[in-house]
Amino acid sequence: MKTIAKAAPRALSTLALAAGIAAAAAPALAGGEATFAKPAPVREGLFVGLNAGGAGSQLMYKDGTRRISEDPLAGGFGQMRVGVGLSPKFAVGLEAVGFDSKEDDADWQLGALVAAATWRPCSNGFFLRAGLGVGGGEFTDPASGDQLEIDGRLAWLFGIGYEWRLGRHAGLGLAADGIGIDADGLTGFEDDEAGAGGVTVQFNWYL
């Protein structure tokens, strides 16, 4: 009994010492976890990117009071961009957009260079994109089959999409973009507009 009585205080002292060491080490361990926490993805600064996918053409004009839209032609759709992220939610840059179709002997080439802005309203990868610039293209007249051309016209871009981050500096996403180009005088009718819209795979590299 005397042995047990003597050992009991020693055991309690040992437990108290261990508890004290654990309490002192807890902040250091917490600091270590903070040190090794996963770094946030880069959203600010320079970035470059490209999109590739498929789209359909659009040619609309006005005949009197009727708004006419020609049947779309399927083709390839691509984009290249360079810009700067001003904040985690907002970026600006230059966007080159192109569409090419060779379907049913109707050749279409569209191109535009726009100043674009990208807005991420949420903390996830959802984004909205819009821009204005200049564009032009070559078209096959659906009625006569003649080749028509426009150049240096007002162009606009609208897009929506979602981007998944691949580490800190890369992002892969899906986007639905459309471009429109003022094509007055192209068909001989009124309010001519040409354009294309489709779905692409998007890749961005944040430097």
pLDDT of amino acid 19: 45
Question: pLDDT (tens digit, 9 = 90+) per residue, 143-170?
Answer: 677 788 889 999 999 999 999 999 999 9
If asked whether residues 24 and 56 sit together in one domain, one would say no
If asked whether residues 125 and 165 sit together in one domain, one would say yes
| pLDDT average, residue stretch 71-76 | 90
| pLDDT average, residue stretch 172-181 | 96
If asked whether residues 80 and 98 sit together in one domain, one would say yes
If asked whether residues 23 and 124 sit together in one domain, one would say no
If asked whether residues 16 and 112 sit together in one domain, one would say no
pLDDT of 186 over the 60 cut: yes
If asked whether residues 21 and 63 sit together in one domain, one would say no
Angstrom distance (rounded) from CA 180 to CA 193: 7
If asked whether residues 12 and 81 sit together in one domain, one would say no
Angstrom distance (rounded) from CA 144 to CA 129: 36
Angstrom distance (rounded) from CA 138 to CA 70: 16
Total number of domains constituting the chain: 2
> Euclidean distance between the first and final Cα of the chain, in Å?
73
Report the CATH number that the domain containing residue 181 is assigned in CATH.
2.40.160.20
If asked whether residues 52 and 117 sit together in one domain, one would say yes
Identify the domain containing residue 29 by its residue range: 1-37
Angstrom distance (rounded) from CA 90 to CA 181: 25
| Residues ≥6 apart with Cβ < 8 Å to 197 | 55, 56, 58, 176, 177, 178, 179
- Which residue from 142, 127, 121, 120 is spatially nearest to 57, judged by alpha carbons? 142
Please tell me which residue, 16 or 52, carries the higher pLDDT value. 52
Question: pLDDT (tens digit, 9 = 90+) per residue, 9-25?
Answer: 554 454 444 445 444 54
- Token pair for residue 96? 């080159």
| DSSP-derived secondary structure for 2-45 | HHHHHHHHHHHHHHHHHHHHHHHHHHHHHHHHHHTSPPPPP-SE
